[in-house]
A and B are shown apart, each in its own frame.
Chain A
């Protein structure tokens, strides 16, 4: 994404109709989501998709800082996307860059429609996102993880937000590019949506595509978002499921 072409591309990104990591064109990388991984945070999530590893901590609704961000009719939402120094090939200098600042903004815009901000006037919701290991698709993974962390924080939401990218690599349309595909592909579309009503909350495009290709990629993304949505819901259910022992204890308490 935005890294452009450079030397050192593998000869072929598709061999015998398959991708270099053996996936089909419409196949996601292995996805693991866990809710409630940072005890200090009000809500949190860790997400791994292939080698991309994201951590999200949510604090809020809480006092607004800096104060001038206060909104009288709803909560202020601030998402900060950062990359750990060791998350990329060459060490990334800690602190915001122009790229991370833009990504923070598009992530905020992708999550805001799902959050009932109007329920929490004069407060702030902070969403801290850190890419611990980057292997393409970090912004979309960040959105998927942040939505789970927000729900984990007990913040009222219209729906979760699921997100993924797809693109054009060696003239094939494919889902969820990993690094070599992302670096040497010709176009990509990151998309986020609220799956329940299929409302799209993030859409970007880098590269040249026909209308038909755009439609195909959007549909490929939307279908994958449905899959991701199931993993998100399962992560939240796992966190909040009552263990057998706890359930037994509860019954004991109830009948005592």
Chain B
């Protein structure tokens, strides 16, 4: 790994990446709508060889006591062992939980979901939006792929009919009621290695890098959430530069959601 790191740094000194990309260039990104007919909304996102499927399931539950008239959002990630030889079967570990929570905050804090519209009966019944993230192949930067797939799946989500008398969600009844997103927040994550910053790291870069910073940007140019990871550090100026880059890259990625 040290050899890889030295190689990656040597190339970055010359403004190059080991796979020929520019520092702020993403790998090829593709977005597929609704690959999972059983889900209420779903998406498949590929960023290079990284592939993630996200499915949304709507269910009815009791609201939290402090928000009796608001629906709830639950984001869960299964780091399936098929996706990476380092993933082990079993309950989610720190890495999976961090990923879920970063994706969650990027969506929740942006305010793109009007949770008030997800109330059925105040204090009693609200919709819970379950967002399940399933990486199929991890070649680095699962965060951006997961977040992009999550917002796309949410945008595709149709709220099923609910039988209030019987208290059952009628998943098999056709419904046309969309879970409307007010806008699309986009998560972009940047890596740092030996003082160099770059976008969309692949697995080799991810294993060699010192730190990462994820930013969730909104169409109005505001940032809704950030998360620094890794043992390295960022300077104030670096962070401010990444804010600009996040907004710029966010615009590019947002165009891919149709």
Which of these, B40, B83, B88, B172, contacts A38 with CB under 8 Å? B83
Question: At the interface, yes or no: A13 with Cβ under 8 Å from chain B?
Answer: no
Residues of B within 8 A of A87 (CB): 36, 38, 55
Residues of B within 8 A of A85 (CB): 55, 57, 76, 78, 130, 132
- Bound state CA distance, A82 and B57, in angstroms? 17
Taking the closest CB of chain B, its distance from the CB of A173, in whole angstroms, is: 26
Residues of B within 8 A of A132 (CB): 35-36, 53, 134
Question: At the interface, yes or no: A184 with Cβ under 8 Å from chain B?
Answer: no
Taking the closest CB of chain A, its distance from the CB of B230, in whole angstroms, is: 21
1/0 contact string of B77-93 vs chain A (CB within 8 Å): 01011111100110100
Residues of B within 8 A of A126 (CB): 81
Known A-B contacts A86-B132, A90-B169, A94-B132; A53 and B36 likewise in contact (beta carbons under 8 Å)? yes
Residues of A within 8 A of B85 (CB): 40, 59, 62
- Bound state CA distance, A65 and B172, in angstroms? 42
> Which residues of B, 92-133, contact A by the 8 Å Cβ criterion?
130, 132
Taking the closest CB of chain A, its distance from the CB of B38, in whole angstroms, is: 5
Residues of A within 8 A of B139 (CB): 39-40
Residues of A within 8 A of B39 (CB): 86, 133
A56 touches B82 (CB 8 A): yes
Question: At the interface, yes or no: B30 with Cβ under 8 Å from chain A?
Answer: no
- Bound state CA distance, A84 and B57, in angstroms? 11
Taking the closest CB of chain B, its distance from the CB of A31, in whole angstroms, is: 17
Taking the closest CB of chain B, its distance from the CB of A10, in whole angstroms, is: 11
Taking the closest CB of chain A, its distance from the CB of B18, in whole angstroms, is: 17
Q: Looking at chain B's contact residues, is the secondary structure mostly helix, strand, loop, or mixed?
A: loop
Taking the closest CB of chain B, its distance from the CB of A203, in whole angstroms, is: 27
Interface residues contributed by chain A, number (CB under 8 Å) = 34
B49 touches A128 (CB 8 A): no
B137 touches A39 (CB 8 A): yes
> Which residues of B, 32-57, contact A by the 8 Å Cβ criterion?
35-40, 42, 49, 51, 53, 55-57
Which of these, A62, A84, A90, contacts B55 with CB under 8 Å? A84
Question: At the interface, yes or no: A55 with Cβ under 8 Å from chain B?
Answer: yes
1/0 contact string of A21-65 vs chain B (CB within 8 Å): 000000000000000011111001000000101011101001001
Tell me the nearest residue of chain A to B42, going by C-beta: A86
Which of these, A55, A88, A94, contacts B78 with CB under 8 Å? A94
Question: At the interface, yes or no: A134 with Cβ under 8 Å from chain B?
Answer: yes
B132 touches A84 (CB 8 A): yes
Residues of A within 8 A of B134 (CB): 84, 130, 132
- Bound state CA distance, A95 and B53, in angstroms? 17
- Bound state CA distance, A242 and B130, in angstroms? 43
A84 touches B78 (CB 8 A): yes
Residues of B within 8 A of A130 (CB): 80, 82, 134
- Bound state CA distance, A59 and B88, in angstroms? 12
Question: At the interface, yes or no: B136 with Cβ under 8 Å from chain A?
Answer: yes
Question: At the interface, yes or no: B16 with Cβ under 8 Å from chain A?
Answer: no
Residues of B within 8 A of A243 (CB): none
Known A-B contacts A38-B137, A85-B132; A55 and B59 likewise in contact (beta carbons under 8 Å)? no
A55 touches B82 (CB 8 A): yes
Taking the closest CB of chain B, its distance from the CB of A95, in whole angstroms, is: 7
Tell me the nearest residue of chain B to A56, going by C-beta: B82
Q: List 19 A-B contacts (CB under 8 A).
A: A40-B138, A55-B136, A62-B85, A82-B80, A84-B36, A85-B55, A86-B55, A86-B130, A88-B38, A89-B38, A89-B172, A94-B78, A126-B81, A128-B81, A128-B89, A130-B82, A132-B36, A132-B134, A134-B38
The chain A residues found within 8 Å of chain B, CB to CB, are: 8, 37-41, 44, 51, 53, 55-57, 59, 62, 65, 80, 82, 84-91, 94-95, 126, 128, 130, 132-135
The chain B residues found within 8 Å of chain A, CB to CB, are: 35-40, 42, 49, 51, 53, 55-57, 59, 76, 78, 80-85, 88-89, 91, 130, 132, 134, 136-139, 169, 171-172
User: Across chains A and B, which 3 residue pairs bring their CB atoms closest together, nearest first?
Assistant: A86-B55, A57-B82, A85-B132
